[in-house]
Amino acid sequence: MLISNLEVVPGYNIVKHLGLVQGSTVRAKHVGRDIIAGLKNIFGGELSGYTELLQEAREEAVERMKQQALAVGANAVINVRFSTSSVTQGAAELFAYGTAVVVEEK
């Protein structure tokens, strides 16, 4: 499965468009991490617990998008976009979407 945020796949021809596919996940970290993040808010700097959380969540969202693309018979997802929104305290929604296509080697 090819994932790309270009509108074309280099070396391939797009033979079929299968429409929008998407994947999303809402995640939270355990309270311990929230407390550490609260302390970091005093000292400043990177909140690595949250970075990790969002990284994992993003991978999960992309994975779900891939599953959806596979289900409609695509072999690539192009023009992928990400979006993040914080839903409630300590939780974030990660959303990935793109266009499922069938590509053929040139």
Partner 1 sequence: MSNLVLFLLLLVLGYSFGRYAEQRHYRSIIRREKEYSDVVLTTVRRPAPGVELTGSELVAGSVVISVDYFKRFLAGLRNLIGGRMTSYETLLDRGRREAILRMKQQAKARGANMVFNVKMETASISKDGGSALGSVEILAYGTATTVTIRE
End-to-end CA distance of the chain: 17
Q: How far is the CB of 71 from partner 1 (least distance, A)?
A: 20
Which residues fall within 8 angstroms of residue 99, CB to CB, at 6 or more apart?
Answer: 17, 18, 19, 20, 21, 77, 78, 79
Is residue 58 a contact point for partner 1 (CB under 8 A)? yes
Given the DSSP bridges, would you call strands 76-86 and 91-105 parallel, antiparallel or unpaired? Answer: antiparallel
Is residue 67 a contact point for partner 1 (CB under 8 A)? no
> Could you say which of 31, 32, 43, 106 contacts partner 1 (CB under 8 A)?
43
Binding site for partner 1 (CB under 8 A): 2-11, 34, 37-38, 40-48, 50-51, 54-55, 58, 62, 80-86, 89-90, 92
